Chains A and B, each alone.
Chain A
Amino acid sequence: MRDVIADRAQGIVRSIGQILQGKQPMGMDTLEEFFALKEVNFDVNRGDRVGIIGRNGAGKSTLLKVLSRITEPTSGRIELDGRVSSLLEVGTGFHPELTGRENIFLNGAILGMNRREVKAKFDEIVDFAEIEYFLDTPVKRYSSGMYVKLAFAVAAHLDPEILIVDEVLAVGDTEFQKKCLGKMEDVSSAEGRTVLFVSHNLEMISRLCSESILLDHGRLIEQGPTHQIISNYLERGKLFRFEKVGDPSRPTISAVCIDQELLGSGDIDFKIEFDSPFELNPPNIGFVINNKLGHPVLGANCRTHQPQNLCAASQGAVRLVIPNAPLHTDTYSLSVFLGDSSQDYDLLENILTFDFVTALPVNNYLGTEIIGNTNGLIKWDFSELT
């Protein structure tokens, strides 16, 4: 026992020594090389609006972080011809105690404007944000909508040659989103600025960007016209699969996979595999499909939708099929859980993200924010029109 303590103590002393020398202490992080981005080469012309598309973990955010100099690349070279402003988040650096007026100057400075530039655009910013009455109120008393509007207004009036935008439009009301998209279009077509735009919202990308880049697992797959990239993106990878090493001491979900091909024709078909050190009597498996705002839209489990003759099991796979799923075309995420008759053991939230294309002949142009998540064939009767 004493030896163990002595060893520990020595270990701590050694790590402190290494920290002071500026080295990575051993045993703190296991060193494993991982490239978030590799072999990504592309050119963007002045005035282009380019969308960056890819699944979670494809390296989109890392690419933006490297481009905006937040993290330094370990190798490679990037040339940017002009001032860069990046909007990776709405209202970065806003201080809740400061007033709207003060925050405009603060945020402007953080995004790279100098005082003179902010002053010159001040009225325009206030106008765009629609907050004249609350200019001298601390922003902590703002509603979240006002906050976002003010934040975007500052960002939209930046004067960079290159604007980098990450999913910031996923907030605010639809009206304001439209206004933002319009502003971004203006900025690029009227003033010749370059815009790089990352979003999971394919509809927004297709509206804003003429050209797109597809990333997957840190690699650039393709660059080309947006409509072509989007359709390739949706077709890529017939099965989308999640796997993890189970914890042998408790029941865990070891794999989830979804048939990507069927998704394109309106069916949802997925499989959940699990492992348990003891028998689950009976196993209770469930799923929830969330829309991209995180709201649940569809779900079931063995208790609500009782399958027949479900016997005790300690491992195996369950397949679920939802033919002609009553959803609109959009991006959804899947959460799954595992339990037995008395409790839940494992919950994997938003484990897969998938794009679903409805088979029903419904006009999908409007997007689910406007028309809701579920769909169905509706019979119209116009006979009483005169």
Chain B
Amino acid sequence: MKQKIVIEPGQSRKNFWKDLWRYRELFYILSWRDIKVRYKQTVIGIAWSVIRPLLTMFVFTVVFGKLAKMPTEGSAPYAILVYAAMLPWQFFASGLTESSSSLISNSNLISKVYFPRLIIPTSSVITSLIDFFISLGLLGLLMLYFGYTPPLRALLFPVFLLLALVASLGVGFLLTALNVKYRDFRYVVPFIVQFGLYISPVGFSSRIIPDKYAFWYNLNPMVGIIDGFRWCFIHGNPFPESSTLLSAVLVSTAFLFIGVSQFRRMERSFADHI
């Protein structure tokens, strides 16, 4: 296992992907750590990852479905309409929140040990993925409760999940890198998450958006992703429009690209700024 290491300015950029592969074991163990300590010293533990989406769904169903009387899609109960959208949104939002603060909360590691820094925000997005699957299980229970059988195409949800993963990693990397140097982003992230919930079709259906705003509305990659999830789980929900879907794919990959390159550019000085 002997290896020769050369340290030169710009060297870490050249070996970026190789190093990432070499340190994969650290990546597993950090993800494992994040999952393991997530709900330590909480009384109800893992139940928190169930309660959060459930309560939000409840509020949204009451506010949008019952009070504002917005139309549902197909035959699904409004609660399922909301919950199917809650899933990817919650994943995106918690991925963003966790990853953007991840480097700072691991600052002792950053300033004392070398490893590819990209591992840290990635592993916190993975932690959110675990929560996603727990919530997904809950969706199954919810469907049982309403006596609702999902269409067979529900099995296609991983495609949209992948897209959500790309979007959260991309935006996450960008915010993480910026947050190390400019702590302003600590205040920006909760704002994005809060604001994003209302400009994404979580509590309502995309159909109610007037055509003249469609372009701006579609710039939000979560629109296509959420509509995709709805299509998967709900009978009679139309497939997302091709323009919506295309923009979701383009914007997410663009964010991933920008996120990784910005991260790499700022990575060298993380230890000095943190």
With A19-B178, A71-B268 as given contacts, are A111 and B9 in contact (CB-CB < 8 Å)? no
Task: Describe A's contact surface by its main secondary structure.
Answer: loop
Q: Is A175 an interface residue (CB 8 A)?
A: no
Contact check: which of A78, A110, A114 meets B109 at CB < 8 Å? A110
Q: What number of A-B contacts does a CB cutoff of 8 Å give?
A: 103
B26 touches A110 (CB 8 A): yes
Number of interface residues of B (CB under 8 A): 39
Contact check: which of A65, A74, A83, A89 meets B108 at CB < 8 Å? A89
B272 touches A71 (CB 8 A): yes
B40 touches A73 (CB 8 A): no
Q: Is B271 an interface residue (CB 8 A)?
A: yes
Q: How far is the CB of A32 from chain B (nearest CB, A)?
A: 14
- Which residues of chain B are near A86, meaning CB under 8 Å? 112-114
B7 touches A74 (CB 8 A): no
Q: Is B2 an interface residue (CB 8 A)?
A: yes
Q: How far is the CB of A202 from chain B (nearest CB, A)?
A: 24
Number of interface residues of A (CB under 8 A): 39
Which residue of A has the minimal Cβ distance to B111?
A70
With A68-B114, A93-B113 as given contacts, are A78 and B7 in contact (CB-CB < 8 Å)? yes
- A-contacting residues, B45-75, CB 8 Å: none
A81 touches B4 (CB 8 A): yes
- Which residues of chain A are near B241, meaning CB under 8 Å? none
Write the B12-37 contact mask toward A (1 if CB under 8 angstroms, else 0).
10000000000001100110010011
Assembled-state Cα–Cα distance A120/B8 (Å): 34
Which residue of A has the minimal Cβ distance to B6?
A79
- A-contacting residues, B108-125, CB 8 Å: 108-115
Q: Is A98 an interface residue (CB 8 A)?
A: yes
Q: Is A247 an interface residue (CB 8 A)?
A: no
Assembled-state Cα–Cα distance A20/B211 (Å): 31
With A95-B33, A95-B37, A109-B29 as given contacts, are A72 and B11 in contact (CB-CB < 8 Å)? yes
With A102-B36, A105-B29 as given contacts, are A70 and B3 in contact (CB-CB < 8 Å)? no
- B-contacting residues, A339-354, CB 8 Å: none
A92 touches B2 (CB 8 A): no
Q: Is A178 an interface residue (CB 8 A)?
A: no
- Which residues of chain B are near A75, meaning CB under 8 Å? 9
Assembled-state Cα–Cα distance A66/B109 (Å): 15
Q: Is A146 an interface residue (CB 8 A)?
A: no
B1 touches A83 (CB 8 A): yes
Q: Is A150 an interface residue (CB 8 A)?
A: no
Q: Is B262 an interface residue (CB 8 A)?
A: yes
B178 touches A106 (CB 8 A): no
B271 touches A161 (CB 8 A): no
B7 touches A67 (CB 8 A): yes
- Which residues of chain A are near B1, meaning CB under 8 Å? 83
A73 touches B113 (CB 8 A): no
A98 touches B108 (CB 8 A): no
20 interchain pairs, CB-CB under 8 A: A66-B7, A70-B110, A70-B113, A71-B268, A71-B272, A78-B8, A79-B5, A79-B6, A80-B7, A82-B3, A82-B4, A82-B5, A83-B3, A95-B33, A97-B40, A98-B33, A102-B36, A109-B26, A110-B109, A111-B113
A positions within 8 Å CB-CB of B: 19, 22, 65-84, 86, 88-89, 92-93, 95, 97-98, 102, 105-106, 109-111, 114-115, 161
